[in-house]
Structure 1
Amino acid sequence: MALSRCSPMISSEGRTRSTASILSLSYAQEYSGIFLTPAAVLAYYTLHARFEATHAGLRWRHFGRWTSVRWEEITDYYLTIPDQHRETPAIQVSGRRHIISRGWTRHAALLSAIEQHVSTPAPGWELLGCRPGEWSIQEFFYDPARRQRRIVGCGVSWIFVTGCCLAMGFRHFTQTTQTLGVGWALAQVGLFLLYDIPITLIITAVIAPEKEAFSRRRHTITTSAVGIRFSDGQRAIEAAWSDILAYEEGVLGKRFVEYSRNCIKTKQGDFDFTVVIHDQRHLCRIIDHWVPDTAREKPIPGEGVIGGEGSLWTGGQIGEGERVYHYRVSATRGLLLVYALFLLAPVLSGLVNGFGDVWRDKTIRIIEPLECISFLGCAWAYFHTSVTVTDNALIQRSLLGTIVIPWQDVVSYKNEEGMRQVISRSKHIRFSAPIADLEGLQTEIERRAVNSENKGWGKISRGYQGENHVTHN
């Protein structure tokens, strides 16, 4: 939408054509298929997909036919973390893992049915590799073939986006050259290429760590309740969890293309792994569960925070006042700047077309004020939204007002798909990962919410306990 509205349209007779009519034609011809096709596929999936649990077992379908399993065929159930995703329930059937999406309706009832009908040594939905009396062994490895497909996909996406930007920029290049000159025609192309810059940065950041999968293709890491084992094809390091001296997180790469690297130091030797190892988030959670507290890297509260650690206190200095957790961090500031760049598109278009012609476009007259209001709301949230921890209560300040939950009224707290929630009987406080010093805030809530029904984040609540459960999308 924003891509079309900054195109300078000049007729062959030298008269400026209406930007509004060009925009309307562009939307109808160029974008309808892009949006309608995915919408049709999603509509079909929503109506067709289904997951059912009965007395006999489970059955489900997505786009195709039904898949059925009997209760006795399910050998295990647990929480897993698929590559770069959140904690997700899964069942084990004939050695294969089947993910149970959280998008199904009556999801809690489905999990309760599985828990009731399937027997395991450690009942309950817990993270695989971290369960009480864990008996399974987990292996993590690098998958070059998968990473190669990802690189190719990113490359094709970049070529497509860049081609669209160039095509729309050169669409009236000849006309603009004849009427305004080559300089304005090239400026027109440059306006569209501005939108390719953030896409290029994002794709570069995604592709940069993928090369690690090729140089580390022989590396494997195996975990169990006893310890951890690393092998790179030439050397092997095997250590009990108590033998780990340090578990640290660092970065590889350069500015704009940095990616995480985790290093483990043991009495037997040191090794590391990067973000592209298969199910990296799951591996990190397992290590974090078993590693001794003395080996954990102490988080730096002010790291990445605009204003430093002192801004995390109401008094402006470390130790002065109450702890306050805000959203003024590097990540949110970068997103705000990108948003501002898109808002400048009509201004840049106005420099070429004339502001009067740009403003005559109905789409811009409607969308631009709404986007400006949205941007101002985001900017206000960036500077003013916060969660404050006091001795007596948890306080959230946002555009919707102030919410106060006394610590004794906290019924539970949880991590639901990345959104942290603190719940009382009448109020909810929600905050998400970009907030400054997230781990510190979670630790404060765990320590102070003494009346909470659950201890720890990310637990799945128990659902309906009946005999026959049916859940569908």
Structure 2
Amino acid sequence: MALFPWMIVQMWRERKEAWERRHDQLTLNAEGLLFTSPTQTIQAKWDELETFTLLPNRGTIKPVLIGTAHGEFLLTSHRYHVWSLLQQYAPQVLEPVRQRAEQEQRKRGDLEGERGAWSGGEVGVGARRWSYQSRDTQFALQCASFVTLCAPLIFLAIWHVNYSGEIDAPAPVVWPQVVGTLLVSSLIVAGGWLWFSRAEILANEQGLEVRSPFYKPRRVAWESIENYGWDGWGEFVLASGRKVYFARVFKPVRVEELRELIERRGR
């Protein structure tokens, strides 16, 4: 019951922050950037950029703190577009971010290792490959599986005791409900682990291919990619006017490498 009010409060905070920053404006060109807001104005050349710090997400808001020789400013939107331009004009400020991401990735662990980065199962064999098999995702699925299997049974047990009125002498167990609940819960859990083991993204000279056990492969040619970004449903590439999502609840391993490839080959 407390989840719904919390979601309302969170959405209100996000809208409030967006409204407060509605006059913020960032202009980028070949020489540098210009940030203006009601409280500050910062202009800097590309070689005057010093830091690019990813801050913790706040719901749908993905803030980043950009530091320059003339001060720093907070950006709460268009993170990936700015990232793509910095790759071209100021890659030096992104290098620490990449190093931290690589360290974090090693800590979290790509369960398949370097061999899993290629569709042929050996380094350099086949198409480049990104799976979703990280330790973080595995742990999240383990927790979700436990809750999905146990929570309905606990609810049925409590309901059964309350319905019988006597803890020492409860009414007979309604086995069809128990078996049906276990069956549905098991199918949900099995679907999650099937996705974990089979979902992947492949990249070759022609383009990207997003695979899932629950739908046909979605192929995107490099020349058809118009943009990539993030919305409330996840991270996507926009190709021929159609959004193809490659990260929703869980991100693929080495996601920064995938983003760089999309930026390099898709435009």
Residues in 1 aligned to 2:217 and 2:65: alpha-carbon distance in whole angstroms:
38
Flag structure 2 segments of 5+ consecutive residues without an equivalent. Answer: 67-73, 162-171
Partner of 1:327: 132
* Counterpart for residue 294 of structure 1: 92
- 1:154-212 Cα deviation digits (max 9, x unpaired): xxxxxxxxxxxxxxxxxxxxxxxxxxxxxxxxxxxxxxxxxxxxxxxxxxxxxxxxxxx
Contact 2:34 2:42 in 1 (8 A): no
Between the two structures, name the one with larger relative contact order (CA 8 Å, sep ≥ 6). 1
RMSD, aligned α-carbons: 4.8
Amino acid at match of 2:102: I
Change (3 A) 1:311 1:132: same
| Native 8 Å contact 1:328 1:436 kept in 2 | yes
Once the two structures are TM-superposed, the CA of residue 328 in structure 1 deviates from its matched residue by 0.5
Specify the alignment match of 2:232 in structure 1.
417
1:192 equivalent in structure 2: none
Q: Which residues in structure 2 correspond to 1:380-419 (within 5 Å)?
A: 380-398=194-212, 399-417=214-232, 419=234
Cα pair 1:387 1:395 within 8 Å, conserved:
yes
Task: Give the conservation status (yes or no) of the 8 Å contact 1:138–1:224.
Answer: no
1:225 partnered with 2:30: no
2:256 to 436, 439, 442: 439
Structure 1 length as normaliser, TM-score? 0.37
1:392/1:331 CA distance change after superposition, 3 Å = same
Aligned-pair CA distance for 1:89: 8.7
- Report the number of matched residues: 216
Give secondary structure in 2 for the equivalent of 1:133: strand
CA distance in 1, matches of 2:229, 2:263: 10
Could you state the TM-score of these two structures normalised by the residue count of structure 2?
Answer: 0.60
- For 1:430, give the aligned amino acid: Y
State the match for 2:188 in structure 1: 374
**Aligned AA for 1:300?**
E
Within 5 Å, give how 1:47-446 maps onto structure 2: 90-91=18-19, 97=20, 132-136=33-37, 224-226=42-44, 241=48, 244=50, 281-283=63-65, 292-295=90-93, 296-297=95-96, 298=99, 299-300=101-102, 303=106, 304-345=109-150, 346=153, 360=175, 362=177, 364-398=178-212, 399-417=214-232, 419-425=234-240, 428-432=243-247, 433-446=250-263
Distance 1:305 1:389 in 2: 18
Q: 1:332 is paired with a residue of what secondary structure?
A: helix
Residue 417 of structure 1 deviates from its aligned partner by 2.8
The alpha carbon displacement at 1:373 in A equals 1.1
Deviations 1:122-155 (A, max 9, x none): 6xx879xxx942244979xxxxxxxxxxxxxxxx
Q: Name the % identity.
A: 15
Find the residue that maps to 1:394 and give its secondary structure.
Answer: strand
What's the secondary structure of 1:134's corresponding residue? Answer: strand
The C-alpha deviation readout for 1:284-330, integer Å capped at 9, x for no partner, is 67598679423522342963311223312213344332211111012
- Shift, 1:412, TM fit: 3.6
Alignment CA distance shift 1:358-1:406 (3 Å)? farther
The AA in structure 1 aligned to 2:146 is L
Contact 1:405 1:427 in 2 (8 A): no
Counterpart Cα distance in 1 of 2:222 and 2:64: 31
* Cα distance in 2, alignment partners of residues 341 and 323 from structure 1: 33
Contact 1:241–1:292 under 8 Å retained in 2:
no
In our comparison, the structure showing a higher alpha carbon Rg is 1
Q: Matches of 2:137 and 2:194 in 1, distance apart?
A: 12
SS state at 1:334 partner? helix
Task: Say if 1:38 and 1:314 are closer, same or farther in 2 by CA, change over 3 A.
Answer: closer
